[in-house]
Structure 1
Amino acid sequence: MNQTPLLDVRDLTKYFTVRGGFLGRGRKRVRALDHVSLTIYPRETLGVVGESGCGKTTLGRTIVRLLEPDEGHIFFEGTDIARLSRRQLRAFRPHMQIVFQNPYSSFDPRFSVLESIAEPLRTHTDLRGDALVDRARELLERAGMPGEILFRYPHEFSGGQLQRLAIARALALNPKFIVLDEPTSALDVSVQAQIINLLQ
């Protein structure tokens, strides 16, 4: 394939320090990611399969730098974002998004739907006022949700509805790359099908 990779991960390694021993006084390092390498091209989908606890979530969070890698490289459109400072990384944030496994913990309960979706738009775009509200409504409709829910709060929605809202928020900045951390695993089978259809 002659195309330039969108994402090229090389030898990515992540350690966690855990307590152990008598009364939890000892500490040991656990390797959650062990020299993982993968390549993803534009418009390509990659599924990572493994048993619970094998590091799938850690991999996704480390790729988008929600967790810091201990070793390895993460090339996004040719730039090694593993070497960027938090300030430098901000320019890449709009292009890389993540949808978490648990929709109930994905939203601040104090924020309305509008506030949750508007947050990345306010941070990374010039949209304000009516233009911001219109963009939020458009995203909701793309996710199969009515625009009039903008002023409701997370506790008013089911798990499937919250996951749709999480996807709408992830799409807000037209990202080039999205990590989907088992976005249907906590949902009923009928709702799983709806979410999969939405993502396609």
Structure 2
Amino acid sequence: MSTTPPVLAAELAVAWADIQRHHPELPDLAVPESLIDESSSACGTELSFERLLHEAAHGLAAARGIRDTSRAGRYHNRRFLAVADELGLEHPDDAHPSSGFSLVVMRPETRRRYASTIERLSRALGAHQSYTTGTATGRAFRGPAARHSSSGGGVRAKAVCGCGRNVRVVPSVLAKAPIVCGGCGQPFTIVDPAANPTATPARVA
């Protein structure tokens, strides 16, 4: 019997609120879930408190009307670096030719300031990783990303509706609310047993 997955979105919201406590200008994080399955080579692919601070720098820049990136968001300019500095991040090297000052890291004093929040979020991330890879129950599987080389939006699996149409969808997104086919009116259901062993295959007409 599987365990209930951790509420990672809630932990992200708590961590974001801690950053807001030090930086009241920072807007609320409207959709914490968007960070869980999102992958961005420009802003960092690994979800962590450091990544959250990076996103907070973008949030502060947006609140102030500062254009902190160019080249479709890939190049992080010196205005981004200045805001990131306020949040306790630094870029120890020269600007990267394609991403600029994107790969900022926490300074030691920043890590100390948020030590308890970092530890709490790290535990939640670890539990989430164990659940999504199956290691929490001693099982493991090779996810759809490995089989289908999907990238840029998280791990996707095949889902079909009653009339046989199919889409690729992140299982955690589908679990939040049904995605209904505009043709037959039936919800899409994940049928890949490796991606969702408990799913009931949809009847194909």
Same fold (TM over 0.5): no
| Higher Cα Rg, which structure | 2
Q: Which of structures 1 and 2 has the larger relative contact order (alpha carbons within 8 angstroms, sep 6+)?
A: 1
Q: State TM-score, norm by structure 2.
A: 0.24
